Amino acid sequence: MAVTVYEYPQAGQKLMRVAQTNRCSGDYEASFYEYGKFSLSIHAGAAYSSEFQINRIVQIDNKYCGIIKNRKVQRGASNVITVSGYQLKGLFWQRVTIPLDLPPNNAPAGYDSKAGYTDEIMKYFIGNNTSGSRRGFENFLIDKLLNQGNQDDRYYTRFEVLGDVIAKIAKRSEVGWDIVIDEVAGWFKCVTIKGQDRTISQSDRQRAVFDLAIGTISSFEYVEETENAANVFYCTKSGSEFEDEALTQTYFLDNVEKTGIERIERHLNISIDNDDDLFTKMEENSRKDMESYRPVQSISVIATKKLVPHIDYDVGDYASFISREDGIRANRQITAIKTTINADKISYTITLGDSQLDKFDFVQRDIKNK
């Protein structure tokens, strides 16, 4: 595991390398929408071990960028220094969305609002809440607009955790994001990312198929969770000056009203510009937010060396998962890749998205009722 350590730049300075070593072991997880975490261990007597300090930047295997947030020193029989932290974009969870002094046209007072392509909205809120001498990050840049995601997206926010806002906007339009570094230029840059289709359903590029039967994975875990799901939503237009003026509509997931023990109700605040077609946009934006309340059906796999990460597949790409024994075929997005390196052993744990699964046409039974 190759690790480069950088000093976080102070005002007027650039990113500065302080150490480079291949003596570390540990793991690191890259996440497409949220932030992944890492943990590194190095012998306390190894060269540069003392350079692993809190709030320093690490680049792992020339691609993963993180910031150290925890440090543990063990002396005696083990003599090990262990540091941990998260991807650089985890810094956005250190900020909240503060409304502008003068809100944009058609935005309710006390809210910040933006409409446009998904990546434009993400970069707008990041720029508004990571700039200035007090709230900004030194030498931090935002990539140019790429018109990614939904071209008619929008979001209102006030005093929410910035990282949560960006992750929510990104996930509902399947636009990933990260912070990368350029050592020569000395800056950090926020970029947005779209994954590639590598499923079995296409033939334009190398396919990524995770299947025990063909040896591309050594094991998998399939999880169904309904604890945080919902199917009946009372949706209120955000930003009304008086509560009795707030428009509230009722919608059902998949337009099917559940009753009795299957009925799970939630209330949502929905962002809409005042000059929009009110009822049309109310339903459209409500249904975007409702998607996050679907029952979770997630898959994680341990990949073998038959497929090479970052070449045959990468975080954000769409891959296929097949389990003939359970009658499951799923074309899903890779939402996280965790790399674990100990001594000479490397393993990759792939997390596939939690959308509903597609079943083989020939499978008669429903696995959910097993």
Per-residue pLDDT of the chain (370 residues; tens, 9 = 90+): 899 999 988 877 888 899 999 999 999 999 999 999 999 999 999 999 999 999 999 999 999 999 999 999 999 888 999 999 999 999 999 999 998 765 555 555 577 889 999 999 999 999 999 988 889 998 899 999 999 999 988 888 889 999 999 999 999 889 999 999 988 888 889 999 999 999 999 999 999 999 999 999 999 998 888 888 999 999 998 866 555 567 899 999 999 999 999 999 999 988 777 666 788 888 988 998 898 898 877 899 999 999 999 999 999 999 999 999 888 888 999 999 999 998 778 999 999 985 544 443 323 223 323 3
Q: Where are the alpha helices (DSSP H) in 100-230?
A: 118-129, 132-135, 162-173
Structure tokens at 99: 């409304």
pTM above 0.75, yes or no: yes
User: Counting beta carbons within 10 angstroms of the beta carbon of residue 292, is it exposed (0 to 12), middle (13 to 18) or buried (19 or more)?
Assistant: middle
How many angstroms separate the CA atoms of 287 and 178, rounded? 26
Domains in the chain: boundaries:
3-86, 93-193, 209-225+295-369, 232-293
Q: How far is CA 137 from CA 10, 41, 92, 179, 347, in A?
A: 9, 27, 10, 12, 34
Which CATH code, of 3.40.50, 3.40.630, 2.60.120, 3.55.50, is assigned to 93-193? 3.55.50
Q: How many residues does the chain have?
A: 370
Instruction: Fill in the amino acid letter for 14.
Output: K
SS (H, E, C) 220-236: EEEEEECCCCCCEEEEE
